[in-house]
Every structure is written in C-alpha cells, then in structure tokens.
A = this chain, B = another copy of it.
Amino acid sequence: MTTETAPSPTSSDSPPPHGEPRVVDVLVVGGGSASETAGPRAAAAGLSVAVVEGSLVGGECPFWACVPSKAMLLAAHGHRRSGSDDHDAAWAWALRRRTDATAGRDDSGKADGLRAAGVELVRGWASVERDDAGGGLARVRRGGGSPDDPGELVDVLRWRTLVLATGSAPAAPPVDGLDDVATWTSDEALSSDHRPASLLVLGGGAVGCELAQVYASFGVRTTLVETAPRLLASENPSVGDAVAQALTGTGVDVRTGVTASRARADGDGVVLELDDGSEVTGERVLLASGRRPRLECVQTLGFDTTGAGALAVDDRYRVLADGRPLDDVYAVGDVNGRAPYTHGANYQARVVADALVGRPREGDETGMPRAVYVDPPVLATGLSADGAREAGHDVVVATQASSDTGRAHVERYDGPGTVELVVDAASGVLLGASVVGPEADSWGGELVLAVRGRLDVELLAEVVHPFPAWGELLLPAAEDARDQVRARRGDEQPGGGAEQPAHTA
C-alpha cells in the first residue's frame, strides 16, 4: 500500500503556526478537475482528504481555458451560421455566454461541491516538504498568491500521501521582442472582453486553432503562424489539412511552415517578422504555442523531471526520484505532461483514487482522446501513422477524405470530413485514428474504445452505424483497412480478387 511506512507526525523542523500540524491521509495540491475527481472518491472510502488551492477551485478548465473557449466557439459557430455581419452584437452575446459558462469566475459552487463530498478545502498556495521515510508537510500561505511573494503562512498540514495536481501555465515562445509588444496568453484572451481589430496567433495547436476560429468568426482579421508544415502537426496530415480548410473558410490567414523570428511594435500594433522574409501585422499577439508544468510547490524536493519540464511518473502516476517511484507521491494532470487535457487529468485521478482506496493499478493511456473543438471538430486517439511507424509498427493506413454520407446529404453539409485509421498490419489491431467532421468529438468515441481495447479492424468493419448518422463515415475506411490487412496476410486481395467468385466462367 502507498503509505504504510509513513512516519508519525513528529519530525517537523519548523513549528506550524497553529500548534501541531493536522494530519490528512491524502493531500491534493491543486484544486483543478483532478482534485474534484480523486478527492471525493478517496473521501467516500473513509480517507481524510484536503485540497489546497490558491486560485479558483476547478482550476484552469472551467474559468480560463476549456469552458470559456468552448462557450466562445459555440457562440462563434452560431454567429457564422446565422449569416449575420453584426459582429458587435454577436460578440456581446458571446461574452454573455462566456460569463454564464464560467459562472463569472465564481468558484463557490465548486468549493461547495468538494466540501459536500467530505473533502477539506484549504485556500492558499502550498509548499511541500517530504520526509525521507515518506509522508511530509505542506505549508500553506495566502496573500502573496505566487511563489515569489509567499504571503502569510496560514496552515500547515502533515500528509501521508501527496497528490500533485498543480497543472500548467501558459508559456511564451522564444521570439525576440515579444516582451516589448502587446501579447495575450490564452488565459488572458479568454477572460478579456476586448475584441481586437486584428490578431496574430502564434501556434497552430489546439488552442491556437480554436482561438483563431473564434476571433475570425467575429470579424477580427486573424493570422495564424505555425512553424510546422501543418496545423496540429503531431496528428495525421489529413487532420491539419481539414482544419486549415475550416480556418481558411472562416477567414483566418493560415501561415504554416514559417517561424516568427522577431516581434516589434509598430504604432499601436505589432509586426511579426517571419523567417521566410515576410511580415504579418496585428493589434496584438496571442501566445498559443505551449504551456509549462507548474512545479513551484515541490521545487526543493528533487523529483525527477522530463525533458519538457514535467514531473516524471511511472504508469501508476507515482512520482520518480532518482529513477525510482515513490509510494507516497503521485502526480496527475498537466503537471506530469502525459495527457495534458482535462479528461486526461480526470482519468489519471481515477487511477490514483483506485490506488488510494486499496486497488493500485497502472493507467493505460493507449486510447487517450485528443479533441479540437473547431468547426467541424477533430478527434484523434492513439498513434498517428508516423508515430506508429516510429514505434516500429508495420502499418496500413486507410484514409477517407469525404463528408459524403446520408447525414451530410440531409444536412446539406459540404465541409471537411476525414477519417484516417492506422492499423498494425500484422495483428489487424487499430493503433490510432483521427476524424474530422460534424459531431466528430461524439462519433469518434467509438475509435477511442477500439484503440483502448486493442480491437481488430475485422470487428470495426462489421460495426453498423444508424442511417443517417455521421458515424457512417467510418465504414469505408474500416473496410479499406480490413482489406489491406487481409491482402498483407495474403488470404485475399482487397475486393475479393484473389478468390474467384464461383459464378464467373
């Protein structure tokens, strides 16, 4: 078990401000969604659980990231479909939607939810110590609000098991001059009411693509700059191509394969110099090129980190120190860098909660979905074709680049619709998949299950989708992949050519 060797709470080297520190079975540092998942589950099993959070309970997602982004995206999609060019009114409506969705950044409902589940909430920033034998202290400070200004020490807790769920913060790319021009992080963009006349989006990942489409939809002249040759560069090429088509259709000037080398102010705006010699201009730069894990609370503890600056963990999400997992320290969510999504944090938190209540197991992120909520949305899971080849698989790839199906006909939809299946040629197992199209974040779930369950493409090609549902787009690709695998095995050519039909002379 995780904390059988935890010492009794006597070894504190600095006295707590309010007498002997309280002891909790589980201390979660960071009140984001992982804490909302793991905390109540551990408490329900009879453990004492405290969550320390210096900002808003719920974390980035409901207040500064996913939720306001999705609210703005939905408003943007609605505005585009309305055909109206009254961007001012639509923007004002979108801001109201965003305020509703983020509850005006009031986290009291979420705080109440934790408490109702039997989880103690401690407001403040924790700095953590760990005893050599396991367990340790957490000092909680308030007022400063950041590690650099530690504020007043308000609480000290002794923990038996520590769950680090401190998340991540926006990171600026290394572009000369960015400090001297007007920039937004994604958090700032998603909390500001200002609609710039023009915007330079740095980064063509999920955040950059989503926010570029949001602003362009409301009439903002939007330029997106991405160093990789394609948007969403780690996904199958069909994904980036489809999203580029969607963004271009929304009016975004998509610049891929170029890198911003320098930023400079120009009047009230910004000029970005690109490494192809061209320049792009805008009122402001939106930094959407990455985030960095938040490690401040454990910076003195010498835990192992990854090359990307995340906490290194094993498959049970135990933090590594000198290459060995600690039985009393877990890290879940963005801070371990493995699956930096709200649903990734929640999944890892479920695995850790199982361990906390006596059912330790490894997480399996084989099918972890990656969604991008542009219009139409993207869902990807498992390995890309290139990733599968790099991992040593002999793969067959089946692609379909058409939205032509019964549903598209009924809805008169003629936008992007792509399916790409990556299948292990030897076993027929689906290794990865990506889909783009209306409701793809819904019907792509079938592929998440298939990748996670290591299912055979023979089965996938047998699955029936209701007419006329968008999922019917999957059949041609599944049959193609199945036929390719069969052909590789030599038991039949695609289309049945190897085995002559009995009818023909």
| Chain A interfacial positions (CB closer than 8 Å to B) | 1-4, 25-26, 33, 42, 44-47, 61, 66-67, 70-71, 74, 97, 100-101, 160-161, 341-344, 346-347, 354, 356-359, 364, 367-371, 379, 406-407, 409-412, 439, 441-443, 445-446, 448-450, 452-453, 455, 459-460, 462-472, 474, 492, 495-497, 499-504
A410 touches B367 (CB 8 A): no
Minimum CB distance partner of A412 in chain B: B100
**In the complex, the 6 A-B pairs of residues with the closest C-beta atoms, listed nearest first:** A1-B502, A442-B442, A371-B466, A442-B443, A342-B467, A25-B503
In the complex, besides A341-B467, A452-B459, 18 extra interface pairs with C-beta distance below 8 angstroms are: A1-B503, A42-B501, A45-B501, A66-B406, A101-B410, A343-B472, A344-B464, A354-B496, A357-B501, A367-B463, A371-B469, A439-B442, A442-B443, A446-B448, A448-B463, A448-B465, A449-B460, A453-B455
Minimum CB distance partner of A81 in chain B: B78
A462 touches B496 (CB 8 A): no
| A101 / chain B contacts, CB cutoff of 8 Å | 409-410, 412
| A409 / chain B contacts, CB cutoff of 8 Å | 67, 101
User: Which of A44, A100, A443 has the most B CB atoms < 10 Å from its CB?
Assistant: A443
A347: contacting residue among B1, B71, B441, B464, CB under 8 A: B464
| A74 / chain B contacts, CB cutoff of 8 Å | 410-411
B4 touches A70 (CB 8 A): no
Minimum CB distance partner of A440 in chain B: B442
Complex Cα–Cα for A264 and B160 (A): 78
| A446 / chain B contacts, CB cutoff of 8 Å | 445-446, 448-449
| A471 / chain B contacts, CB cutoff of 8 Å | 441-442, 445
| A346 / chain B contacts, CB cutoff of 8 Å | 464, 467
A442 touches B467 (CB 8 A): no
| A367 / chain B contacts, CB cutoff of 8 Å | 463-464
Complex Cα–Cα for A443 and B443 (A): 5
Minimum CB distance partner of A456 in chain B: B453
| A448 / chain B contacts, CB cutoff of 8 Å | 446, 463-465
| A46 / chain B contacts, CB cutoff of 8 Å | 501, 504
Complex Cα–Cα for A407 and B373 (A): 12
| A379 / chain B contacts, CB cutoff of 8 Å | 466, 469
| A449 / chain B contacts, CB cutoff of 8 Å | 446, 449-450, 455, 459-460, 463
| A357 / chain B contacts, CB cutoff of 8 Å | 496, 499, 501
Minimum CB distance partner of A495 in chain B: B44
B445 touches A3 (CB 8 A): no
Complex Cα–Cα for A344 and B470 (A): 16
Minimum CB distance partner of A371 in chain B: B466
A410: contacting residue among B71, B442, B460, CB under 8 A: B71
Minimum CB distance partner of A42 in chain B: B501
**Minimum distance in angstroms from A268 CB to a CB of chain B:** 34
Minimum CB distance partner of A365 in chain B: B464
Complex Cα–Cα for A453 and B97 (A): 41
| A42 / chain B contacts, CB cutoff of 8 Å | 501
B47 touches A468 (CB 8 A): no
| A354 / chain B contacts, CB cutoff of 8 Å | 496
| A450 / chain B contacts, CB cutoff of 8 Å | 449
